[in-house]
A and B are shown apart, each in its own frame.
Chain A
Amino acid sequence: DIQMTQSPSTLSASVGDRVTITCRASQSISSWLAWYQQKPGKAPKLLIYKASSLESGVPSRFSGSGSGTEFTLTISSLQPDDFATYYCQQYNSYFTFGGGTKVEIK
């Protein structure tokens, strides 16, 4: 099974900060990677698919990059609505989620 490792597990940041979250796959997954945002008590929301494609309706401050085993999610200027937990997910072979990164207010 493919394992997904996210870092950091928690990130403290301020509004306006540039934020980067890293996701590493245990083997190459090409570009078959998605990113989700989840707020407490809510279902996850798809942000990015195929490593860098922005889902319809998602603000352009979110961007994704990477291929193979190393991927990043970047929020160019953190907004109040962005404080949440973020998950990466591979879909090269079945599906596996990372452990999550909680973005909290500094």
Chain B
Amino acid sequence: QVTLRESGPALVKPTQTLTLTCTFSGFSLSTSGMCVSWIRQPPGKALEWLARIDWDDDKYYSTSLKTRLTISKDTSKNQVVLTMTNMDPVDTATYYCARTTTIFGVVIPFDYWGQGTLVTVSS
């Protein structure tokens, strides 16, 4: 059974750095074709992809946010960590992590999601 769970602070102050952890089970991020992404959703708005890390440690970032994001993984702990610097009130959103997998050569994006964690940026 595949599960993902996000954890991190519910409230951060402007200019602070946000650190979120995605803890997963039911799959290994050392398996070829496996990837984990972070996606966010401001209240009442659409989804926005932020970053992805692959089984081979390749990393990809949103063009608009790449200077503020760092994604990393700890395969032994089944965790993926996202840091976002210089937080602003516009970054207030629910942050999700989600898995991408490849089956028989076909990429299946975001087949499992965490429940999301709401992060509010306010002084």
How many A residues touch the partner, as a band? 20 to 34
Q: Classify the secondary structure of B's interface with A.
A: strand
**Which residue from chain A places its CB closest to the CB of B100 in the assembled complex?**
A91
Whether B55 is near chain A, meaning CB under 8 Å from some CB there, is no
Residues from chain B with Cβ under 8 Å of A45 in the complex: 113
Closest-CB distance, A64 to chain B (whole angstroms): 13
Closest-CB distance, B104 to chain A (whole angstroms): 12
B47/A34 in contact, CB under 8 A: no
Find B46's partner among A50, A94, A99 (CB 8 Å cutoff). A99
Find B49's partner among A46, A53, A96, A99 (CB 8 Å cutoff). A96
Q: Classify the secondary structure of A's interface with B.
A: loop
Whether A83 is near chain B, meaning CB under 8 Å from some CB there, is no
Whether B24 is near chain A, meaning CB under 8 Å from some CB there, is no
**Bound CA span A94–B107, Å:** 12
A87/B109 in contact, CB under 8 A: no
Q: Mark A30-66, 1 if CB is under 8 A from B, else 0.
A: 0010101000001111100110010100000000000
Closest-CB distance, B89 to chain A (whole angstroms): 22
Chain B contact residues, CB within 8 Å of chain A: 37, 39, 46-49, 52, 60, 62-64, 96, 98, 100, 106-111, 113-116
